[in-house]
A = this chain, B = another copy of it.
Amino acid sequence: MDIFSTLQEEKARLSPSENRIADILLNDFEFAVNASIIELAEKADVSPPTVTRFCRRVGCESFSDFKVQLARTAYVGMRYLRPEPKSRDPADVAQDIITKAQNALFLLHRSLDLAAIEHAAEKIAKAEMIYAFGSGGNSSMIASELQNRLFRFGLHVTASSDHGMQLMLAAAAKSTHVIVGSSFSGRNTELVRSFTLARETGVTTIALTQADSLVAKAADIVIPIDLAEGNNIFRPTSTRIAYLAAVDILASLVAYNIPQAAVTLRRIKQQLVAHRDGDDRQLLGD
């Protein structure tokens, strides 16, 4: 558990002095990580012992432990406060995008429902056929990414971003099949229709989408991806990167659920080694 989560949970229960310390952390993080206990105490207008007690309160052993914890989580966890890059200077834009992407990964990791993903992975590994559905540029990319990952494990998979096609595939699917659908907004009603139709035949439906959304409600297994407070601040790219990472995790777990996974993975690795040896024949997966 990182400090900032603890802080948000505990904040209400903190005393006035401790609250002043918390405010400094949130507002002037750069100062906080570099300050000594005395400097921090002065700035918060409290005594050093109070700072020590504060550190214990938020789950740290000591003040120095606290600083280390702060430095490690905060590097990726605290910068989304700025909705726009500082300036149009390329360096600022780059830093902004990189930070937000890392942040999205951080938040994804924190809110990941591993049980759901593992459950989904088991179903996918056993499926006779897998359909990856998603539309609208972002989710369609996720769908083809799923196809791209899963076929390498010897699974039967097809991706579609076409609503009409999705409906037909869903109608034709059997109970041994699995549909994985992605919707960033959670309000892709066509996807909901495909899910509903498929479930009538007992097809397993898996959704990568916002928790409690329309799409989520229509699926058997939901892999919720909620980028919490950031949702409105992040540009879609950050969210997309989080989705990609989620797909990556899902695909890796699928691999582990397939008996010959070790063999498959070894073969993939040999491929990679062959790449590096540098012969010029066309590479798989450029």
User: Are the C-beta atoms of B72 and A90 separated by less than 8 Å?
Assistant: no
Closest to A88 in B: B256
Closest to A147 in B: B137
Question: Chain copies in the assembly?
Answer: 2
User: Interface stretch among A8-16, A18-26, A61-69?
Assistant: A61-69
User: Are the C-beta atoms of B106 and A286 separated by less than 8 Å?
Assistant: no
A165 at the interface (CB under 8 A from B): no
A194 at the interface (CB under 8 A from B): no
Kindly list chain B residues whose C-beta atoms are within 8 Å of the C-beta of A237.
Answer: 244-245, 248
Residue from the list B105, B138, B273, B286 in contact with A136, Cβ < 8 A: B286
A136/B185 contact (C-beta < 8 A), A93-B249, A141-B144 known? no
Residue interface mask A245-286, B partner, CB < 8 A = 1: 100110011001000000000000000110110101011111
A145 at the interface (CB under 8 A from B): yes
A230 to B102, CA, bound (A): 17
A73 to B241, CA, bound (A): 21
Kindly list chain B residues whose C-beta atoms are within 8 Å of the C-beta of A134.
Answer: 286
A5 at the interface (CB under 8 A from B): no
A134 to B69, CA, bound (A): 42
Kindly list chain B residues whose C-beta atoms are within 8 Å of the C-beta of A27.
Answer: none
Kindly list chain B residues whose C-beta atoms are within 8 Å of the C-beta of A245.
Answer: 97-98, 101, 237, 241
User: Are the C-beta atoms of A252 and B67 separated by less than 8 Å?
Assistant: no
A94 to B246, CA, bound (A): 8
User: Interface stretch among A112-120, A124-132, A172-180, A196-204?
Assistant: A112-120
User: Are the C-beta atoms of B117 and A90 separated by less than 8 Å?
Assistant: yes
User: Are the C-beta atoms of B136 and A236 separated by less than 8 Å?
Assistant: no
Kindly list chain B residues whose C-beta atoms are within 8 Å of the C-beta of A272.
Answer: 232
A134 to B286, CA, bound (A): 8
Residue interface mask A43-84, B partner, CB < 8 A = 1: 000000000000000000000110111011111100000000
User: Are the C-beta atoms of B244 and A90 separated by less than 8 Å?
Assistant: no
Among A118, A232, A248, residue most surrounded by chain B Cβ atoms (within 10 Å): A248
